Structure 1
Amino acid sequence: MDRIVEIERLTKTFSNKRGIHDISLNVQRGDVYGFFGPNGAGKTTVMKMMTGLSRADQGKVRLFGHDVATHYEQAMAKVGVLIETAEAYEYMSGRKNLELAASLYPELARRRVDEVLELVGLSSVQHEKVGHYSLGMKQRLGLASAILSKPELLILDEPTNGLDIEGMVQIREIIMRLAREEKITFFISSHLIYEMELMCNRIGILSDGKILTEGILSEQLKGRFATLEEFFLHEVNKERGTVSHA
């Protein structure tokens, strides 16, 4: 498998001394890679540097072999992004929002808007104003916008944050369908460990700005632990020197 994402020794320190420290990880083509950690662990900081929204103090990010800092357009050419909250014009319909976004890609076929509406389950409400959409519907519209250009890599920051159980299930099923049908590689951050366990084949665990471990979810990480939650708590306690050896 070839590497889609390569992060090497990424470091950034803010004025409050918090930040990320010496982050290294790789994402292979076809992965649904879960970037897991509690709120404040540094997940969004890493993702902003992956997408050129913030610069690192040290280290490199390469997407499809191109350095984001020095060859931004080439690095981002096949990337879709949804970081923090999905933005849309609320006075316009969902369809009009997507048609506006699609106008940035003149090579796209006209039917692509219909395709993504169907993929995210918004065809029946495509003519309603976004201001009338639920939070889950807005998040699905954000996903639709992110996949319009047929990206090969989709970077999603907390895509189920703030959603109710039904909304979380819908977003999870969409992600898994896109990975299967559209052959998209995913890099997904979350603090919801159960969601990561259901969606992802590989995972990196972040705590206090540092990678504790990463690997194939079923084989390398959980091991003798019944759940990912047990494994995570073990790794955090090991890092803090509080693991019981009884």
Structure 2
Amino acid sequence: MTAIVEINNLTKMYKNKRGIHEVNMTVQQGDIYGFFGPNGAGKTTVMKIMTGLARPQQGQVKLFGYDVSTQYEQAMSKVGVLIETAEAFTFMSGRKNLELAARFYPGIDKQRVDEVLEIVGLTPFQREKVAGYSLGMKQRLGLAAAMLSKPELLILDEPTNGLDIEGMVQIREIILRLAREERITFLISSHLIHEMELMCNRMGIIHQGRLVREGLISELAKGSASLEEAYLREITEVRRLAAHA
């Protein structure tokens, strides 16, 4: 398998003593990789460093073999990103927002805007102002914007956060379809372990800024009634070891 994402010894600590410490992680081509941990565990920090929105104090991130710190344009050329909340101009229509975003990419035409609107199911609502969109529709619009450049890797930070059940199912189905039909590799963060179990084939568990386990979902859940039970067992062991360190 080809490694699309390679993270080595990534560290960034903030003044409040929180952050990430020596994170090592690999995402293989074709993965739907779930980056799982509670709020504040360090998921967004890792993703911001991966996409050049923050600088690490040490460590390296490579995307498609290119170092994000020194070869940024090459590293990000095949990457689509949705970090935290999907931002859009609410006084404009969904379509106008995408047409504006398309100007940042060479060779993206109106046909591609049509395609991503269709993929995320917003074609019937494309002329409506974003101010009238539900949270789920705004998330789908953000996903559409991230897909404009036909990326081979999509980095999504909590894409189902705050959505109702119907919205969560819609986003999940879009991700599974894109992975299957478009062969897109995904790195998806979440604090909802049930969503990880339904969407992902591999998962990394981050706890208090450290990646404590990484592997196939089937391997992580082995010997447990559920992935949730396996996670709780893993974290209990991490805390036990920390207490005796």
**Shared fold (TM-score greater than 0.5)?**
yes
- Measured after TM superposition, the shift of residue 157 of structure 1 is 0.3
Corresponding residue of 1:173:
173
Give the letter aligned to residue 112 of structure 2.
Answer: R
Question: Whole-Å Cα distance in 2 between the matches of residues 134 and 110 of structure 1?
Answer: 24
Question: Whole-Å Cα distance in 1 between the matches of residues 112 and 198 of structure 2?
Answer: 29
> SS of the counterpart of 2:108?
coil
Say if 2:135 is the partner of 1:131: no
In structure 2, stretches of 5+ residues that fail to align are none
- Measured after TM superposition, the shift of residue 241 of structure 1 is 1.0
> SS of the counterpart of 1:90?
coil
Corresponding residue of 1:236:
235
Give the letter aligned to residue 90 of structure 1.
Answer: T
Q: What is the percentage of aligned positions where both structures have the same residue?
A: 70
Corresponding residue of 1:191:
191
Corresponding residue of 1:50:
50
In structure 1, stretches of 5+ residues that fail to align are none
Deviates more, 1:176-185 or 1:97-106: 97-106
TM-score (norm 1): 0.96
Corresponding residue of 2:222:
223
Deviation track 1:176-229 (CA, whole Å, cap 9, x = no partner) reads: 1111111110000000000000000000001111111000111x2111012110
> SS of the counterpart of 2:212?
strand
- Measured after TM superposition, the shift of residue 103 of structure 1 is 2.0
Question: Whole-Å Cα distance in 1 between the matches of residues 152 and 83 of structure 2?
Answer: 17
- Over the aligned positions, Cα root-mean-square deviation in angstroms equals 0.9
- Is the Cα–Cα contact under 8 Å of residues 117 and 144 in structure 2 kept in the other structure? yes
Deviation track 1:129-161 (CA, whole Å, cap 9, x = no partner) reads: 000000000000000000010000000000000
TM-score (norm 2): 0.97
Question: Whole-Å Cα distance in 2 between the matches of residues 143 and 181 of structure 1?
Answer: 16
Question: Whole-Å Cα distance in 1 between the matches of residues 19 and 85 of structure 2?
Answer: 21
Question: Whole-Å Cα distance in 1 between the matches of residues 10 and 68 of structure 2?
Answer: 12
Question: Whole-Å Cα distance in 2 between the matches of residues 117 and 230 of structure 1?
Answer: 38
> SS of the counterpart of 2:25?
strand
Question: Whole-Å Cα distance in 2 between the matches of residues 45 and 101 of structure 1?
Answer: 24
Question: Whole-Å Cα distance in 2 between the matches of residues 238 and 51 of structure 1?
Answer: 32
Corresponding residue of 2:34:
34
Say if 2:190 is the partner of 1:205: no
> SS of the counterpart of 2:30?
coil
Question: Whole-Å Cα distance in 1 between the matches of residues 105 and 13 of structure 2?
Answer: 36
> SS of the counterpart of 1:214?
strand
> SS of the counterpart of 1:26?
strand
Question: Whole-Å Cα distance in 1 between the matches of residues 13 and 106 of structure 2?
Answer: 40
- Is the Cα–Cα contact under 8 Å of residues 102 and 109 in structure 2 kept in the other structure? no
Give the letter aligned to residue 104 of structure 1.
Answer: F
What stretches of structure 1 move > 4 A for 4+ residues in a row?
none
Deviation track 1:4-53 (CA, whole Å, cap 9, x = no partner) reads: 00000101111111111110010000000000000010000000000010
Question: Whole-Å Cα distance in 1 between the matches of residues 39 and 237 of structure 2?
Answer: 20
1:42-121 matched pairs, under 5 angstroms = 42-121=42-121
Question: Whole-Å Cα distance in 1 between the matches of residues 162 and 102 of structure 2?
Answer: 27
